[in-house]
């Protein structure tokens, strides 16, 4: 048999294999951590944008045509009277201090629109002037709230401040300036959100990657009660992680908002492989095998099952390569490769190390083989034999509950579903949404082929009407365009805050401040934009806003105008929708591939169908939990199903592999084969499920909601899958045994 041949070759050529493993590990380690191509950290959110998408193309063209609105940082704070002389003096000092920060291009506030020297007025005189200022529609919800008690400072960053490494020092300087003043401030805007988001995720990474290793070590020690078993396992896992890091370096894959989970997941997968190998080794010693034969028999009896479990786990991750998001494809590819490498390294390295070290004591072998997990496995066996109908009825009601819950699942997500109240980003954006009507830039692009372009007087008034209508949309806090600049100049020269009526005046105004106009209209006047600030809504809000804008455009603007709605928030929410669709497709593909893999291993379509059922029910149950408890279907939750299916089906494969062996040994006695399988392999399955579940349970302590939901759903699926493999599957086999006589055959 091939597994036996492989095991003998491993033991015979162990020195050469050790040399190869150490050499490859050093090579990958150098490239991953010391060379010029070493792994970098990049937590930019732009990586979550889809590769090919019309909205993304519009957004990228927008960034080329106009100055970036997304480089604006908003500093918002409450004051007793924002237009009082004391408040304005404080505001003046703050804006001056901010303007000296490296990386800041300009600072604007309500002071930008106050020409008078307010200190020259008496308090009563200035109050009268302030009443006129706050009535200015150009300022409302832009630099000051409608009620006059919330100020907004807009800090425009230089164009080169476009990634986390350049943004972070600027924000640190902003914090340092603001902390000098006695104000309770909130920051908002894309630079703040992206920087804080990255810092938050990096902090989570620094906490949970070490915890994964600690949990794995503690569980391994609890299972084996031997330091050497823990060390053997962690060495095999550590070497695999180094290899994966080396592959990441060669493929130029950074540690990002998705890929940082690779190390946690591979640690969990590796511990599972190690437990199965070591428990089988001790079981063989208990059955009277010498060291050499015990090692050979490990690979002979569970080698195929271990390979298939690694393969199905890898398939669950490889299916993510079908998505339209590069970093998710990279994540799926690397964890899939890592799962296969973990199998190869553990199946080669652990037997070699076991062959080089002393045998465990007889007392230790007895404790491990007849440990506490035996009682649980024995209890499950008794329950299966005595209460099969209860098990089937319970399973039926679980399916009904799941169907009901699944019918209530919503995919209406928001980027702020990632955070809980109390988080800096969440609290800041909610405060700004409430007081200023939102800060997320929403760009409405208008194009025309008219000779005079968008400066055609007739069209100019239509754009003004269109803009005024947009301001009335519930999700829009403010809207500004080139029409506002014309009104300001017309007020200055003609004392009328309205649009100029003659084309000559319009052209002359554009020459006064070309830079101001270039922010909203191209030099050929054929293309312009209305910049809105929108609240941080959900996918349905964004879709509804786009729909209303298009309806208003059709109703108000001439037919020769083309209108498009863009902005990073639009692209991000659409990206989430695409990811969910792609991930659901990948889940279906993974299910099909896993089904055929099991059919190949066990030689039966009927048994493969039977084996899939106990793994589909846990996924349905997790979906039901999502619907009942309003957990939104979004990328982090959708991804859980493909991943958990690949991991959960491992229990079924190990159980059926052992069942087939026992079925043959016991000459077709289903009951004895079930009992023997539960009391042997059942223990290892329980141990590995505990280990893997703990890896997911750790994530329940995360403040990052996607991690929490990933951990919650993963834990539910794995625990339910354990019940499916060790309770429901045996009952189904016992009830349908007339159909499985084909199992009596030699391996």
Return the CATH number at 734.
1.20.1640.10
pLDDT at 214: 84
Looking at the predicted structure, is the pLDDT value of residue 191 above 80?
Answer: yes
Based on the domain organization, do 493 and 549 belong to the same domain?
yes
Based on the domain organization, do 187 and 133 belong to the same domain?
yes
Across residues 358-381, what is the average pLDDT? 74
What is the tens place of the pLDDT at every residue in 699-743? 888 888 888 998 899 899 989 999 998 999 999 888 887 444 444
What is the tens place of the pLDDT at every residue in 217-230? 887 888 788 889 89
Encoded tokens for 501: 């009526």
Based on the domain organization, do 25 and 84 belong to the same domain?
no
What is the tens place of the pLDDT at every residue in 251-273? 999 888 788 888 888 988 888 88
Based on the domain organization, do 708 and 587 belong to the same domain?
yes
Which pTM does this prediction carry?
0.80
Distance, in Å, from the CA atom of 596 to the CA atom of 585, rounded to the nearest integer, reads 17
Domain contains 210: no
Buried b (16+ CB within 10 A) or exposed e, 689-714: bbbbbbbbbbbeebebbbbbbbbbbb
pLDDT at 153: 93
How many domains, the chain? 4
Distance, in Å, from the CA atom of 76 to the CA atom of 436, rounded to the nearest integer, reads 9
Contact 637, 410 (CB under 8 A): no
pLDDT at 686: 84
Distance, in Å, from the CA atom of 612 to the CA atom of 36, rounded to the nearest integer, reads 46
Across residues 465-480, what is the average pLDDT? 91
Burial of 472 per CB tally in 10 Å (0-12, 13-18, 19+)? exposed
Based on the domain organization, do 597 and 733 belong to the same domain?
yes
What is the tens place of the pLDDT at every residue in 93-121? 999 999 999 999 999 988 887 766 776 77
What is the tens place of the pLDDT at every residue in 284-341? 998 889 999 999 999 988 888 888 888 888 888 888 888 878 888 899 999 999 999 9
Based on the domain organization, do 191 and 242 belong to the same domain?
no
Encoded tokens for 511: 């020459």
Find the CATH number of the domain harbouring 470.
3.30.70
Based on the domain organization, do 259 and 149 belong to the same domain?
no
pLDDT at 45: 67
pLDDT at 371: 59
Based on the domain organization, do 697 and 616 belong to the same domain?
yes
Domain contains 421: no
Based on the domain organization, do 168 and 232 belong to the same domain?
no
Enumerate the β-bridge partners of residue 469. Answer: none
Distance, in Å, from the CA atom of 307 to the CA atom of 301, rounded to the nearest integer, reads 12
Backbone angles phi, psi at 599, to 5 degrees: -65, -40
Of residues 410 and 132, the one with the higher pLDDT is 410
Query: Which of 310-314, 460-464, 542-546, 600-604 comes out lowest in average pLDDT?
Result: 600-604
Which of 387, 368, 367 is closest to 379 using CA atoms?
387
pLDDT at 734: 86
Based on the domain organization, do 696 and 593 belong to the same domain?
yes
Domain contains 320: yes
pLDDT at 746: 40
Domain contains 581: yes
Residue 45 CA, chain-centre distance (Å), reads 10
Domain contains 625: yes
Distance, in Å, from the CA atom of 248 to the CA atom of 260, rounded to the nearest integer, reads 11
The 104-108 sheet, strands edge to edge = 104-108, 150-157, 72-78, 185-188
Domain contains 657: yes
Looking at the predicted structure, is the pLDDT value of residue 747 above 50?
Answer: no
Q: 179: helix, coil or strand?
A: coil
Encoded tokens for 643: 């991943």
The 476-480 sheet, strands edge to edge = 476-480, 527-534, 440-447, 562-566
Question: What percent of the chain has a predicted confidence (pLDDT) above 70?
Answer: 95
Looking at the predicted structure, is the pLDDT value of residue 530 above 70?
Answer: yes
Q: How many residues does the chain have?
A: 747
Across residues 448-455, what is the average pLDDT? 93
Place of tokens 């269109």: 466
Looking at the predicted structure, is the pLDDT value of residue 745 above 60?
Answer: no
pLDDT at 232: 93
Domain contains 446: yes
Contact 642, 317 (CB under 8 A): yes
Find the CATH number of the domain harbouring 189.
3.30.70.1320
What residues make up the domain containing 490? Answer: 441-566
Domain contains 721: yes
State the DSSP string of 15-76. Answer: HHHHHHHHHHHHHHHHHHHTSTT---B---GGGGS-SS-HHHHHHHHHHHHS--GGGEEEEE
How much is the CA Rg of the chain, to the nearest whole Å? 32
Within 8 A by CB and 6+ apart from 65, the residues are 522, 527
Based on the domain organization, do 83 and 137 belong to the same domain?
yes
pLDDT at 742: 44
H-helix or E-strand containing 214?
Answer: helix 190-224
Q: 107: helix, coil or strand?
A: strand
Based on the domain organization, do 76 and 145 belong to the same domain?
yes
pLDDT at 127: 73
């Amino acid at each position: 048999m091939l597994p036996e041949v492989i095991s003998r070759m491993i033991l015979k050529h162990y020195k050469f294999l050790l040399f190869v493993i150490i050499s490859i590990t050093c090579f990958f380690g150098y490239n991953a951590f010391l060379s010029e191509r070493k792994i970098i950290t990049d937590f930019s959110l732009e990586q979550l944008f889809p590769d090919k998408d019309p909205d993304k193309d519009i957004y990228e063209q927008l960034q080329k045509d106009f100055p970036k609105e997304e480089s604006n940082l908003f500093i918002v704070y409450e004051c007793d009277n924002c237009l009082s002389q004391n408040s304005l003096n404080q505001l003046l000092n703050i804006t001056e201090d901010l303007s000296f920060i490296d990386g800041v291009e300009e600072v604007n506030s309500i002071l930008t629109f106050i020409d008078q020297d307010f200190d020259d007025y008496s308090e009563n005189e200035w109050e009268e002037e302030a009443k006129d200022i706050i009535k200015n529609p150009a300022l409302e919800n832009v630099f000051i709230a409608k009620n006059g008690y919330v100020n907004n400072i807009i800090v425009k960053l230089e164009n080169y401040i476009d990634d986390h490494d350049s943004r972070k020092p600027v924000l640190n300087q902003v914090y340092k300036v603001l902390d000098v003043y006695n104000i309770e401030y909130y920051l908002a805007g894309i630079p703040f959100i992206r920087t804080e988001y990255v810092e938050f995720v990096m902090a989570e990474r620094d906490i949970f990657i070490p915890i994964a290793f600690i949990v794995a070590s503690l569980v391994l020690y609890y299972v084996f009660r031997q330091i050497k078993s823990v060390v053997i396992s962690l060495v095999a896992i550590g070497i695999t992680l180094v290899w994966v890091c080396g592959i990441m370096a060669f493929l130029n894959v950074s540690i990002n908002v998705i890929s940082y989970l690779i190390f946690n997941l591979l640690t969990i997968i590796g511990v599972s492989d190690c437990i199965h190998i070591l428990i089988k080794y001790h079981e063989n010693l208990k059955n009277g095998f010498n060291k050499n034969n015990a090692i050979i028999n490990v690979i002979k009896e569970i080698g195929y099952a271990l390979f298939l479990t690694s393969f199905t786990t890898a398939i669950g991750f490889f299916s993510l390569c079908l998505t339209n998001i590069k970093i998710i494809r990279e994540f799926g590819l690397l964890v899939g490769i890592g799962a296969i490498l973990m199998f190869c390294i553990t199946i080669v390295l652990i037997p070699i190390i076991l062959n080089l070290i002393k045998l465990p004591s007889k007392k230790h072998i007895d404790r491990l083989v007849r440990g506490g997990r035996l009682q649980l496995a024995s209890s499950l066996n008794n329950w299966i034999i005595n209460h099969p109908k209860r098990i089937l009825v319970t399973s039926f009601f679980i399916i009904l509950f799941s169907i009901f819950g699944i019918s209530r699942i919503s995919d209406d997500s928001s980027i702020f579903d990632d955070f809980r109240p109390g988080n800096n980003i969440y609290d800041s954006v909610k405060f700004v949404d409430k007081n200023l009507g939102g800060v997320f830039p929403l760009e409405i692009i208008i194009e025309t082929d008219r000779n005079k372009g968008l400066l055609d007087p007739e069209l100019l008034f239509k754009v003004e009407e269109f803009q005024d209508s947009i301001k009335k949309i519930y999700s829009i806090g403010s809207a500004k365009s080139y029409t506002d600049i014309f009104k300001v100049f017309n007020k200055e020269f003609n004392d009328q805050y309205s649009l100029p009526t003659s084309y000559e005046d319009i052209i002359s105004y554009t020459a006064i401040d070309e830079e101001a106009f270039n922010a909203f209209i191209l030099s050929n006047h054929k293309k312009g934009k209305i910049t809105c600030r929108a609240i941080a809504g959900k996918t349905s809000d964004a879709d509804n806003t786009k729909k209303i804008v298009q309806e208003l455009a059709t109703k108000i603007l001439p037919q020769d105008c083309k209108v498009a709605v863009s902005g990073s928030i639009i692209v991000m929410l659409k990206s989430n929708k695409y990811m969910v669709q792609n991930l659901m497709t990948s889940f279906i593909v993974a299910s099909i591939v896993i089904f055929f893999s099991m059919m190949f291993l066990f030689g039966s379509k009927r048994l493969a169908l039977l084996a899939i059922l106990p793994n589909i029910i846990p996924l349905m149950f997790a979906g039901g939990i999502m619907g009942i408890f309003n957990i939104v279907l979004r990328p982090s939750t959708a991804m859980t199903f493909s991943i958990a299916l690949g991991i959960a089906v491992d229990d079924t494969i190990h159980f059926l592999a052992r069942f087939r062996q026992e079925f043959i040994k016991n000459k077709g006695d289903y009951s004895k084969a079930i009992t023997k399988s539960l009391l042997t392999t059942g223990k290892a399955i329980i141990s590995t499920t505990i280990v893997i579940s703990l890896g997911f349970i750790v994530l329940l302590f995360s403040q990052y909601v996607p991690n929490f939901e990933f951990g919650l759903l993963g834990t539910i699926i794995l625990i339910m899958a354990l019940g499916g493999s060790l309770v429901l599957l045996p009952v189904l086999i016992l009830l349908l045994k007339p159909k499985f006589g084909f199992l009596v055959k030699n391996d």
